[in-house]
C-alpha cells in the first residue's frame, strides 16, 4: 500500500513518524532519497496499530534540490556542535557499515521542506527540499 503526502499545498499534511523503527539502508539519486526500514516493522509501537500486517516500510522523498544537508553532532575542541557533512560521503559510509542500524526519531514538516532527526551513535539531522513523500508499506 502506498501513502502519498504532498508538501506544496496550502494545507500541510500530518505525516506519521515511524519514530522507533530502524533504517537498514539509504538510497539517493538526483530525484529521491529513499529510506529502507527493517523487516517485521509491525512490532514497533509507532507502526503496530496503524499497519499491523506490515513487514517493512520504504520511505521515498521526492527531491526538489538534489543537495542534502546532513548535520552530525560531534565534539570539537572543548565543546560540541552540529557539523555540516558531505551528504553523499555520509550515506556511502552508513551503507558500508555491517550491522548498520539507525533509528528514525522524528521529523519537522514545512512547505516544500522536511527535517529528519536520526540516531545512531550520534544525533544526525537531514534537511531536504521535497514536494512529496511516499510511504510504501509492504505487507507480510
Q: How far apart are CA 96 and CA 18, in angstroms?
A: 23
Q: How far apart are CA 53 and CA 134, in angstroms?
A: 18
Helix (H) or strand (E) holding 83: strand 79-85
Long-range contacts of 48-55 (CB under 8 A, 24+ apart): 50/16, 51/137, 53/139, 53/140, 54/137, 54/138, 54/139, 54/140, 55/138, 55/139, 55/140
Enter the pTM of the model.
0.90
Residue 136: predicted pLDDT:
97
Residue 43: predicted pLDDT:
93
Q: What average pLDDT does the chain have?
A: 91
Q: How far apart are CA 5 and CA 3, in angstroms?
A: 7
Residue 100: predicted pLDDT:
66
How is 10-50 classified by DSSP, letter by letter? SS-------TT-EEEEEEE-SSEEEEEEPSSGGGSTTTTTT
- Work out the pLDDT band at 34, boundaries 50, 70, 90: very high
Whether 97 shows a pLDDT value over 80: the answer reads no
Amino acid at each position: 500500500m502506498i501513502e502519498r503526502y504532498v508538501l506544496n499545498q496550502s494545507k500541510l499534511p500530518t505525516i506519521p513518524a515511524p519514530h522507533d523503527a530502524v533504517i537498514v539502508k539509504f538510497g539517493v539519486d538526483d530525484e529521491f532519497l529513499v529510506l529502507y526500514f527493517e523487516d517485521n516493522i509491525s512490532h514497533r509501537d509507532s507502526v503496530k496499530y496503524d499497519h499491523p500486517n506490515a513487514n517493512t516500510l520504504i520511505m521515498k522523498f521526492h527531491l526538489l534540490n538534489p543537495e542534502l544537508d546532513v548535520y552530525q553532532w560531534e565534539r570539537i575542541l572543548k565543546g560540541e556542535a552540529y557539523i555540516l557533512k558531505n551528504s553523499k560521503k555520509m550515506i556511502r559510509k552508513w551503507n558500508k557499515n555491517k550491522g548498520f542500524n539507525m533509528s528514525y526519531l522524528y521529523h519537522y514538516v514545512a512547505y516544500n521542506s522536511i527535517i529528519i532527526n536520526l540516531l545512531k551513535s550520534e544525533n544526525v539531522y537531514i534537511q531536504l527540499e521535497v514536494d512529496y513523500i511516499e510511504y510504501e508499506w509492504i505487507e507480510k
